[in-house]
Amino acid sequence: MKERIRKELSFQLEEQIRRDPLFSQIRRGHYHEGDRWAISQPDGTVDESEFTQIAEKYTIEPKDVIEKGPSAIIENQLKLAEKVRRKHYELFIRKMQAVTEKTGNLVDAQGHPFTPELFLELLEKVEIDFDDQGRPRLPALVVSPELATRIKEKMPEWETNQDYKKAFEDLIKKKKQQWDDRESYRKLVD
């Protein structure tokens, strides 16, 4: 019974982390053996990395367990999930920074406020895919909660800005062309 409760709590903890707006958009996978993973890039280079452990300690007083049973742990679970989620998040940002530094896909705002121009500059740096109807699959933008609020407030204003609208449409056209070029390479040749 205790083992089942432990498994259930562990499952719920993972689920809480997966409900994060960012992590819910990232596909999860399991490795069942080994101690490393590696990605072989099309240019022949290999990115290899060891598994990183994410752990968080927490303490529960015996008196709380005596009084509340499993609820003592469940009450702490939200806090624990938040701590583990943060660690996941930090790891994710570290990895992304390492990749962007390596590839040069870095935009430095140099302390300036987030503007439509900066957003377009960011989009310029990334590959954008399109669906079967030719609609862009725009990437997720990871920003602080404060900045997210500011962007939401500013978005209606940007959308009515004809210059920005035109620049955005031009960029998407360009990205579509790049995507078409990439897609045209995905074939078997002699």
Partner 1 sequence: MIERAIENWLTNTTERYYQTPFCQVLLSEGHRLIYRSTHGQLEQGKDIITIAPDGEYFAYQLKTGDINLAEWRKIRGELQELIELPIVHPEVDKSRVHKSFLVTNGEIKDPVRLQIDQINEDNVRKGRNYSHLSVITLPDLLKYFVDTQGKFIPSELKDFHQFLRFFTSDGRECIDKDLLFNFLNRSFFEEEPKRPSDAFNVVSSSVILTSYLLNRYQISENHFSIFEAWVILGACILRYIIRYNVEEELTSYCSQLVMSEIVNNLKNLKEETFARPDYLEGDLLGDGGLVYRFRKTLVLGCLSALELHIHDYTEGYMIDYRIVQRIKEGFPLEFSSEVFFPYIFCIIKLLELASEPSLALKLLHSVFTDIIRNNSHHRDFGFPSTYYSISDLLAAAYGLDTRKIDLSEFPGSSYTLEPMIHMLAKRNERSILEEWWRPLSDIALMSFKPDYDEDVFLWRSNTGVNWSKFPQAPQSWKDLCTLANDNSETPAFLTRYKAFLRFYILVCPHRANVMTLKVLGS
Shortest CB 69 distance to partner 1, Å: 22
For the CB of residue 168, give the shortest distance to partner 1 in the complex, in Å. Answer: 24
Residue 158 in tokens: 């940007």
Spell 22-42 as b/e; 16+ CB within 10 A means b.
Answer: eeeeeeeeeeeeeeeeeeeee
Q: How far is the CB of 173 from partner 1 (least distance, A)?
A: 22
Looking at the Cβ atoms of 2 and 36, the one nearer to partner 1 is 36
Shortest Cβ 180–partner 1 spacing (Å)? 12
Give SS3 for 102.
Answer: helix
What is the Cβ-side half-sphere exposure of residue 42, based on CA atoms within 13 angstroms? 3
Cβ burial, residue 137 (10 Å; 0-12/13-18/19+): exposed
The Cα–Cα gap between 168 and 54 comes to 39
Binding site for partner 1 (CB under 8 A): 11, 27-42, 48, 131, 182-183, 185-190
CB of 100 to partner 1, least distance (A): 20
Please say which residue, 138 or 147, places its beta carbon nearer to partner 1: 138
Cβ neighbours of 116 (radius 10 Å): 19
CA–CA separation, 58 and 13 (whole Å): 13
Task: Identify the CA nearest to 129 among candidates 116, 141, 143, 139.
Answer: 139
Q: For residues 2 and 28, which CB has a smaller minimum distance to partner 1 in the complex?
A: 28
- By beta-carbon proximity to partner 1, the closer residue of 94 and 182 is 182
By beta-carbon proximity to partner 1, the closer residue of 32 and 63 is 32
To partner 1, the closest distance from the beta carbon of 11 in angstroms equals 6
Residue 102 Cα distances to 97, 98, 142, angstroms: 8, 6, 19
Closest to partner 1 by CB, 112 or 187: 187
